[in-house]
Amino acid sequence: MVELTETELKAAITIFGDRLELAKRYVEHLATSGTERGLIGPREVPRLWSRHVLNCAVIESEISHGSHVADVGSGAGLPGLCLAIARPDLELTLIEPLERRVIWLQEVVDDLGLDNVTVMRTRAELAVGMVTADVVTARAVSALSNLAGLTIPLLAGQGEVVAIKGRSAHEEIDKAAKVIRKLGGVETSVVVVGQELLEEPTTVVRIIVKSAQKIA
């Protein structure tokens, strides 16, 4: 059992509410089969709650009710499964190209009974046309200049990208500005979420997308 500190427990109760037990079961999957199969490094186990699950789940505050969310490069379900647990009103599509990760994700989804999640084994660029999302999320996938091309097309001209980033977020935005504009991004900003809940709040790059046709 991966224990929570008092601060982590307070944050987890706020974010997950009556679904906290589901979140705990997910963390146990990460700590056991997730590490055994190489989805999470063994050294990460003591900080699964703070550095990974809460760090991801807190971005739920940035996503509108009832949205269809596509999580690109879902890996160990960060942030996709965290959002599915915290927000049963959301419809999640987890996009992951590696078979062993897809198998693990499906096992966890089945065990937790998450009926708001679809796991797809494909690359993000191949999912365009198959998946049309309101919001696209990503964490630790790629630099923003490359990530923009993997995420924005999944919005089909309208929606938001919510990408979890580190301290270099502003720098990445500067480098990716041209690509983002070309793909239909009309506003890009850095948002810090979870300041009142987490010892280390989460930095998010938000891209608002509207195509010329949609604006008209």
How many residues does this entry show for the chain?
216
Residue 116 has φ and ψ, to the nearest 5°, of -105, 20
What's the predicted TM-score (pTM) here? Answer: 0.93
The tokens describing 51, both together, are: 């550095």
- Give the Cα separation of 92 and 178 in Å (integer): 29
pLDDT score for 214: 46
Tens-level pLDDT at each residue, the chain (216 residues):
788 989 999 999 999 999 999 999 999 999 999 999 999 998 988 889 988 999 999 999 999 999 999 999 999 999 999 999 999 999 999 999 999 999 999 999 999 999 999 999 999 999 999 999 999 999 977 889 889 999 999 998 899 999 999 888 999 999 999 999 999 999 999 999 999 999 999 999 999 998 754 443
**SS3 assignment, position 40:** coil
pLDDT score for 212: 56
pLDDT score for 15: 97
pLDDT score for 74: 94
pLDDT score for 44: 86
> Could you tell me the CA-to-CA distances from 121 to 51, 96, 100 in Å, in that order?
26, 5, 10
Q: What per-residue string of b and e applies to 141-167 under the rule 16 or more CB within 10 Å gives b? A: bbebbebbbbbbbbbbbebbbbbbbee
pLDDT score for 215: 42
6-215: which CATH architecture? 3-Layer(aba) Sandwich (3.40)
Strand 202-210 relative to strand 185-193: parallel, antiparallel, unpaired? antiparallel
Name the residue ranges covered by the structural domains of the chain: 6-215
Of 70, 67, 88, nearest in space to 79 by CA: 70
- Give the Cα separation of 25 and 14 in Å (integer): 17
How many distinct helices (H) and strands (E) make up the chain?
Answer: 10, 7
